[in-house]
Amino acid sequence: MDTPRTVSDEDFLRLDHQICFSLHAAARAFNSVYRTALKDLGLTYPQYLVMLVLWEHGELPVKRIGEHLRLDSGTLSPLLKRLEAAGYVERRRSAEDERSVTARPTPAGTALRERALGVPRRIAAATGLPLEEVRALRARLDELTTALDTAGSAALPGDCVPDD
C-alpha cells in the first residue's frame, strides 16, 4: 500500500497519545470550568445544554432535543427527569403522537435563563482567547466531528487512506 511518508507506527503511537488526549483533556477542562460557573444555578453542564435548546425552541420532543445535542433517549430520559425534579422542565405525552414526549421550561426554568446570561461571558474570559480564535477553533472542531461521524458510519475502512 501507499505509505505517504515513512511515519512509523511507533511515532504514530506517541503522536496519537497527544492528539486524542489533548481533546479529551480540553473537554474535561471545559467541563470543570462550567461546573463551577453553573453551580449557583444548580445545573450540570449537559443539563445546561438541554436548557439552552429549550430556551431557544420553547417546547420540543425528546427526539428533537437529542438531534440538537446528538444524544439519545438513554442519556436524555434520566437527565430530563432530574430537570423536572428540579422544577425547571415540564414533560408530557404528546396528544397527536402518544409515543412522543415533549419537554418545555416551567416558569422557574424560564426565569433561570436570566441568571444564566452571565455564564458564557465568564467562560469566554476563562479561555483567554479572542472571539475570533474561539470561532475558528469551533469551526475546526465541527469539521472534525463531521469527518469522524461519517468515518464511523462508513464502518471504518481501516487501511483506506483518505485520498480517495
Partner DNA sequence: GGCCATTTAGTTGTGCACAACTGAATCGTG
Partner DNA sequence: CACGATTCAGTTGTGCACAACTAAATGGCC
Residues that bind DNA (CB under 7 A): 24, 28, 31-32, 35, 44-47, 61-64, 66, 70-82, 91, 96-101
Our CB check for DNA shows the closer of 6 and 153 to be 153
Q: Give the residue from 91, 67, 94 showing the smallest Cα distance to 77.
A: 91
Our CB check for DNA shows the closer of 11 and 149 to be 149
Cell of 31: 467541563
State the minimum distance, in angstroms, from the CB of residue 17 to DNA: 14
Q: Which does 6 bind (CB under 5 to 8 A by kind): DNA, its own copies, none?
A: none
Q: Which does 62 bind (CB under 5 to 8 A by kind): its own copies, DNA, none?
A: DNA
Our CB check for its own copies shows the closer of 18 and 99 to be 18
State the minimum distance, in angstroms, from the CB of residue 87 to its own copies: 21
Our CB check for DNA shows the closer of 99 and 132 to be 99
Cβ-proximal residues to 91 (8 Å cutoff; 6+ apart), any chain: 80, 81, 84, 101, 102, 103
Where b means 16+ CB within 10 Å and e means fewer, 88-103 reads bbbeeeeeeeeeebbb
Q: Which does 30 bind (CB under 5 to 8 A by kind): its own copies, DNA, none?
A: its own copies
Q: Which does 79 bind (CB under 5 to 8 A by kind): its own copies, DNA, none?
A: DNA
In DSSP terms, which residues pair with 92 in a beta bridge?
102
Instruction: Supply the DSSP symbol for 156.
Output: -
Give me the residue label for grid cell 472542531: 141
User: What's the CA gap between 92 and 60, in Å, rounded?
Assistant: 11
User: What's the CA gap between 120 and 16, in Å, rounded?
Assistant: 31
State the minimum distance, in angstroms, from the CB of residue 49 to DNA: 8
Our CB check for DNA shows the closer of 5 and 70 to be 70
